[in-house]
Amino acid sequence: MATDTSKYHAQSQRASKIWYASKPFSDSLLLSGSNTIHAVKFYEHLGMSLLRKIPQPEAKFDLYFLAYDSPSSVSPNAHWSDRQGIIELTHNYGTENDSSYSINNGNSDPGKGFGHVCISVDNIQAACQRIEDAGYKFQKKLSDGKMHHIAFALDPDGYWVEIISSNDAEKTEGIKETDPAKYRMNHSMIRVKDHTKSLKFYQDVLGMQLLRTNEKPSANFNLYFLGYVPGANNDVNTAPLEGVLELTWNYGTEKDENFKYHNGNAEPQGFGHICITVDDLDAACKRFEDLGVNWKKRLTDGRMKNVAFVLDPDDYWVEVVQNEKLKERANW
């Protein structure tokens, strides 16, 4: 029994009186939220399609899996477990009726940890105008601040959605049209305390490749972009990709013994986990066990025998599930 990390996929997740999740062969992200209809409508406006809904009435929650699925997308018509770049929304029944319920978007204390999801678009000025015309709010518009090549929209639960351009933003300034079929679920960002430990975990344990590094010494932070791109050598143009994981390391946090990021699963809740899909779930979990990972849930724990969760160095949850195209297991 063996496992091949070159066949893993990454996905992503969030929560909203819903949750979102992430997975590698499929990279998915889980987020929690409060109003499923509004959240799904928002991501559909960004061009995503609802691939699958998994009702869990006995546990009082539902799961919604969204991704780009047009004929020109990266993985048209693929099974949700056999693609990169998925957003999973988790809706916990009744939260939409609780006026006091709110989601932690991960960008302020005491819940800072998860940062954002990101989509890449064709013509960023037109794409942002289309989002604004639909009545959605922005954390940062293109014209705000010094960085005029990125924007951050807000989803209905206040999660940040970064918008970047797959084309040269200076050359798309006068273009008024945008095609959501060309958008990509590019990456999810989490903050990490010690970049050395986190890079070792995601590369050596989960089998990701370091695609690109962006060092910002004047601002005291570095960005590391990882994903499942065999042969990558830290100079990849990541904008056209899906299922990328961005790690943000702020200088000096690794030296503070008491410093800790919030993983989104304790109060205040919000972000749930990232997710990877693997070629052979049993073999992959055996390999993780041999490597001495910390577990949140082994395959043998509880009733759900088709899902495992490992913990990264910052205690973020990483869900591990079977790629159903490579080997049928759960039939979901």
User: Could you identify the residue written with the tokens 């910390």?
Assistant: 294
Q: Does residue 177 contact residue 114 with C-beta atoms inside 8 Å?
A: no
**Choosing from 88, 96, 162, 324, which is the catalytic residue?**
162
Q: How many angstroms from the chain centroid is the CA of residue 165?
A: 18
Residue type, 227: G
**Choosing from 96, 246, 319, 324, which is the catalytic residue?**
319
Distinct helix (H) and strand (E) counts, the chain? 4, 17
Residues 130 and 52: their CA atoms lie apart, in Å, by 26
Q: Does residue 62 contact residue 54 with C-beta atoms inside 8 Å?
A: yes
267 is catalytic: no
Q: How many angstroms from the chain centroid is the CA of residue 94?
A: 25
Residues 45 and 196: their CA atoms lie apart, in Å, by 38
319 is catalytic: yes
User: Could you identify the residue written with the tokens 């989002």?
Assistant: 131
The answer, yes or no, to whether the previous bond of 110 is cis (omega within 30 of 0) is yes
Q: Does residue 315 contact residue 266 with C-beta atoms inside 8 Å?
A: no
Residue whose C-alpha is closest to residue 81's, from 299, 281, 317 = 281
List active site positions: 162, 319
